[in-house]
């Protein structure tokens, strides 16, 4: 029953105002009072079913209501003269107004058993008014729920009303009273009832606006409740990790080794890079495992930070593993490490392309405990790979790995100390080239300490960015041609590998088709290469090598080049159907150019028929190259689920709370949860017993889902 009462509305509709047919605006949802003129069943082609059509009026005009799937028995109610309220979005079809699948509230003829009196009945309603005889669905601000197949919202409202009548008293408090009093929040039973059946606000525009925006005290109570419990679990996970054991690294020459290597670097570290390394070295020196997220913009130098951190462990005789999601990225890290360290450190590459002899030799070195930095792909987590002294685990683009994959690699470093007999855990660093807004970092990655790298290394050229619509594509192509003639290289990115007839994809350009067209019709004098996810690893690597060596001047690709491709000579990138990508992904793609000293250009192609919202979204990329600003905009637009990807978003169990809209409540709840953890981490005090009971009942499941490692 608790799950039913906590099935919260996703939105609200203002049905306090009943419009006339003559007042309807196309595309604007409205409620109108109507009487039936006629009804009929109309055969439909291809569906094998009849459409049900009702013509109705309020004397100011006529509107047609249509259903392709009509609830059983509903057609019998639309007798001539029957009065009802209809709520829906009108549109014009062949010169006539119509509404598809409106929600209906009946007049006196309705047979729904309903509450007829009390504070929740609309003010001023009379017995002859449909709003009076159907007060759950008309004449008020009405909750809208996520659709459940076979269960219309109006039926769900009735079920919830009856459930509250019987079970409202079963909703008990589990948040400590002092926190509720501190913020002036209502009781849980009142808040849950009010979120489903808000008090009438017919004469108060501000009250309606607050309700629709989830700014009422009841909404605040439930949002705080979700954030508080979530943050308690996340912070407790972090505190528990601080109780685990790890090797203290850096006290026996490791820090000095990092300082010596830093002096020999062919470039100077930025202030943010130095700060991140200091934070990591401080964590490594502690006797409990480091659990740190290093996040920074494209080209901010995260890899250099990670590799220098590895020096501390290697210098003291330990092993380090760096796992990347693709062979291209793993090989790039290996090349960078080899350039930085030369033969001073033992570095190995382990991917699906590693030869059998190299593979077996590496397994022997790792099993023997030889200090080695192993850079690889998923091959690192295979059973034959055994580390004797793995002290530091690093994962790049960690959101591309599942929780289980990260756990397996980490557990390869767990061993029992010969001195103390205690289990010792490896230190853990995750890297993200997608800047993560603070609210997400506090939730999805809340058990990680965070190092930010916002400062860009000197020498990176700015990337001029333009959103291109329609005829503007010609000018962009000419800029590409000019860059190619100057000896530079270019990327063309497409959303599909091959053309598709699937709904919504027919008009999209595909990489395979466009590569051929560009070669034959647009750039016949230049060599074009094709790269996409369906190619075999050897084919991908051959194409990338040709592009790096400038044997291929144009690389046509899907988003497989989003990360891990570093070609300083590439100065222009064109992304087709840019409206199909998230802002952060487009920013990552833009980061493929501007990696050298040459002026660089980025063109985002989009259709002329896109909405104003789509245009405004893409123009964010014209206005800023700050990945953190773009990430915040992306989070506001797409929400946390799409921003993080479904696997990670699955760990955010919010029913009502929204990370963007409610970020202030998130920070308040986090502070309160930390206060409680410091005063009573095991919830042993009597006043904390209800919260302890909640976590014993439901918290372990959530806790397991929230772990990022």
pLDDT in tens, 427-465: 999 888 777 776 677 776 677 888 988 888 776 777 999
Contact 676, 682 (CB under 8 A): no
Full residue range of the structural domain in which residue 272 is found: 245-453
End-to-end, the C-alpha distance of the chain in Å comes to 33
> Looking at the structure, do residues 287 and 430 belong to the same domain, yes or no?
yes
Res 98 pLDDT > 90: yes
Long-range contacts (CB closer than 8 Å, 24 or more residues apart) made by 201-210:
201/16, 201/141, 202/16, 202/122, 202/123, 202/124, 202/139, 202/140, 203/123, 208/14, 208/16, 208/141
Two structure tokens written together for 420:
């103390």
Q: Is the pTM of this model over 0.75?
A: no
Q: What is the percent of the chain with per-residue pLDDT over 90, rounded to a whole number? A: 39
Task: Determine whether 670 is exposed, middle or buried from the number of CB atoms within 10 Å of its CB (0-12, 13-18, 19+).
Answer: buried
How far is the C-alpha of 229 from the C-alpha of 174, rounded, in Å? 10
Type and span of the H or E element at 93:
strand 90-93
Query: Which pLDDT score is estimated for 610?
Result: 59
Contact 409, 395 (CB under 8 A): yes
Q: How confident is the model at residue 390 (pLDDT cuts 50, 70, 90)?
A: very high
Q: How confident is the model at residue 529 (pLDDT cuts 50, 70, 90)?
A: very high
Among the three residues 395, 428, 453, which one is the final residue of a domain in this structure?
453
> Looking at the structure, do residues 274 and 423 belong to the same domain, yes or no?
yes
**Residue 505 covered by a domain:** yes
**Residue 42 covered by a domain:** no
Q: What is the mean pLDDT of the segment spanning 361-390?
A: 93
**Residue 690 covered by a domain:** no
Res 621 pLDDT > 70: yes
Domain count, the chain: 2
Query: Which pLDDT score is estimated for 562?
Result: 61
Considering just the CA atoms, what is the radius of gyration of the chain in Å? 31
Among the three residues 599, 624, 649, which one is the final residue of a domain in this structure?
624
Give me the CATH number covering residue 504.
3.40.50.300
Res 510 pLDDT > 80: yes
> Looking at the structure, do residues 473 and 493 belong to the same domain, yes or no?
yes
Q: Which of 4-8, 38-42, 267-271 has the lowest mean pLDDT?
A: 4-8
For 23, 134, 699, the CA distances from 671, given in Å and listed in that order, are 49, 44, 19
CB neighbourhood size of 115 (10 A): 14
> Looking at the structure, do residues 553 and 441 belong to the same domain, yes or no?
no
Query: Which pLDDT score is estimated for 236?
Result: 87
Q: Which of 51-65, 216-230, 323-337, 560-574 has the lowest mean pLDDT?
A: 560-574
Q: How confident is the model at residue 486 (pLDDT cuts 50, 70, 90)?
A: very high
Query: Which pLDDT score is estimated for 110?
Result: 34
Res 130 pLDDT > 60: no
How far is the C-alpha of 207 from the C-alpha of 186, rounded, in Å? 17
**Residue 172 covered by a domain:** no
Say which residue, 650 or 543, is predicted with more confidence.
Answer: 543
**Residue 650 covered by a domain:** no
**Residue 390 covered by a domain:** yes
CB neighbour list of residue 449: distance below 8 Å, 6 or more residues apart: 279, 283, 290, 291, 292, 293
Q: What is the mean pLDDT of the segment spanning 284-309?
A: 89
Q: What is the percent of the chain with per-residue pLDDT over 70, rounded to a whole number? A: 86
Say which residue, 91 or 416, is predicted with more confidence.
Answer: 91
Among the three residues 453, 479, 500, which one is the final residue of a domain in this structure?
453
> Looking at the structure, do residues 294 and 369 belong to the same domain, yes or no?
yes
> Looking at the structure, do residues 558 and 495 belong to the same domain, yes or no?
yes
- Mean pLDDT of the chain, nearest integer: 83
Contact 395, 406 (CB under 8 A): yes
Q: What is the mean pLDDT of the segment spanning 309-315?
A: 95
> Looking at the structure, do residues 400 and 487 belong to the same domain, yes or no?
no
**Residue 612 covered by a domain:** yes
Contact 151, 70 (CB under 8 A): no
Question: Which residue do the tokens 């806790």 mark?
Answer: 703
Q: What is the mean pLDDT of the segment spanning 316-327?
A: 92
Contact 659, 439 (CB under 8 A): yes
Q: DSSP per residue over 658-690, as a string?
A: -TTTTHHHHHHHHHHHHHHHHH-TT--SGGGHH
Two structure tokens written together for 503:
């709904």
Two structure tokens written together for 506:
């027919």
Q: What is the mean pLDDT of the segment spanning 283-290?
A: 93
> Looking at the structure, do residues 513 and 365 belong to the same domain, yes or no?
no
**Residue 668 covered by a domain:** no
How far is the C-alpha of 672 from the C-alpha of 299, rounded, in Å? 37
Query: Which pLDDT score is estimated for 125?
Result: 37
Which residues partner with 347 through β-bridges?
A: 373
Chain segment 571-585, per-residue pLDDT in tens: 999 999 998 888 888
């Amino acid at each position: 029953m608790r799950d039913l009462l906590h099935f919260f509305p996703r939105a609200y509709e203002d049905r306090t105002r009943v419009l006339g047919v003559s007042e309807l605006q196309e595309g604007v949802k409205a409620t109108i009072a109507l009487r039936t003129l006629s009804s009929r069943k109309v055969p439909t082609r291809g569906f094998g079913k009849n459409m049900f059509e009702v013509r109705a009026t309020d004397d100011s005009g006529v509107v047609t209501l249509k259903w392709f799937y009509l609830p059983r028995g509903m057609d019998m109610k639309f007798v001539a003269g029957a009065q009802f309220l209809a709520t829906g979005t009108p549109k014009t079809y062949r010169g006539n107004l119509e509404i598809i699948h409106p929600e209906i509230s009946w007049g006196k003829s309705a047979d729904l058993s309903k509450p007829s009196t009390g504070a929740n009945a609309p003010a001023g309603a009379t017995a002859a008014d449909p709003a009076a005889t159907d007060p759950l669905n008309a004449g008020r601000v009405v909750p809208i729920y996520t659709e459940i197949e076979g269960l219309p919202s109006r039926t769900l409202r009735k079920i919830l009303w009856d459930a509250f009548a019987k079970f409202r008293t079963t909703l008990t408090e589990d948040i400590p009273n002092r926190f509720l009093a501190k913020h002036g929040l209502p009781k849980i039973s009142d808040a849950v009832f009010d979120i489903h059946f808000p008090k009438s606000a017919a004469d108060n525009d501000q009250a309606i606006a607050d309700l629709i925006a989830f700014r009422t005290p009841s909404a605040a109570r439930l949002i705080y409740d979700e954030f508080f419990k979530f943050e308690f679990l996340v912070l407790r996970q972090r505190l528990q990790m601080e109780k685990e054991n790890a090797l203290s690294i850096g006290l026996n020459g490791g820090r000095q080794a990092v300082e010596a290597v830093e002096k020999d670097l062919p470039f100077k570290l930025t202030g943010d890079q130095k700060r991140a390394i200091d934070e990591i070295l401080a964590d490594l020196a502690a006797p409990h495992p480091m659990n740190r997220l290093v996040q920074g913009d494209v080209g901010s130098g995260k890899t250099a930070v990670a590799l220098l951190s590895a020096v501390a462990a290697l210098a003291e005789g330990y092993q380090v593993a760096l796992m990347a999601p693709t062979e291209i990225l793993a090989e790039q890290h290996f090349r960078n490490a080899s350039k930085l360290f030369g033969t001073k450190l033992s570095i190995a590459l382990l991917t699906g392309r590693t030869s059998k002899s190299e593979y077996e030799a590496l397994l022997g070195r790792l099993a023997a405990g030889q200090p080695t930095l192993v850079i690889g792909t998923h091959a690192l987590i295979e059973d034959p790979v055994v580390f004797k002294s793995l002290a530091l685990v690093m994962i790049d683009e960690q959101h591309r790995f599942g929780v289980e994959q990260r756990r397996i690699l980490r557990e390869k470093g767990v061993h029992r100390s010969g001195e103390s007999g205690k289990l010792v855990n490896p230190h853990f660093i995750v890297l993200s080239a997608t800047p993560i807004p603070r609210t997400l970092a506090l939730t999805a990655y809340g058990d990680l300490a965070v190092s930010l790298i916002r400062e860009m290394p000197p020498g990176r050229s700015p990337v001029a960015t333009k959103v291109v619509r329609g005829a503007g594509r010609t000018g962009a192509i000419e800029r590409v041609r000019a860059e190619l003639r100057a000896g530079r290289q270019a990327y063309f990115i497409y959303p599909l590998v091959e053309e598709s007839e699937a709904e919504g994809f027919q008009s999209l350009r595909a990489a395979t088709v466009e590569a051929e067209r560009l070669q034959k019709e647009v750039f016949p004098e230049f060599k074009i290469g094709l790269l996409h996810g369906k190619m075999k690893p050897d084919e991908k690597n051959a194409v990338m090598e040709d592009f790096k060596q400038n044997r291929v001047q144009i690389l046509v690709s899907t988003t497989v080049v989003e990360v891990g491709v570093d070609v300083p000579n590439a100065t222009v990138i064109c992304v087709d159907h840019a409206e199909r990508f998230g802002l952060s992904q487009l920013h990552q793609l833009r980061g493929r150019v501007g990696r050298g000293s040459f002026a660089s250009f980025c063109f985002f192609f989009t259709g002329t028929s896109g909405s104003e919202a789509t245009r405004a979204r893409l123009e964010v990329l014209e206005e800023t190259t700050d990945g953190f600003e773009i990430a915040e905009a992306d989070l506001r637009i797409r929400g946390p689920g799409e921003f993080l990807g479904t696997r990670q978003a699955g760990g955010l169990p919010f029913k009502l709370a929204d990370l963007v809209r409610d970020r202030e409540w998130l920070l308040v709840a986090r502070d309160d949860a930390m206060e409680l953890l410091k005063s009573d981490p095991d919830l042993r005090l009597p006043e904390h017993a209800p919260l302890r009971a909640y976590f014993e009942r439901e918290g372990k499941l959530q806790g397991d889902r929230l772990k990022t490692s």
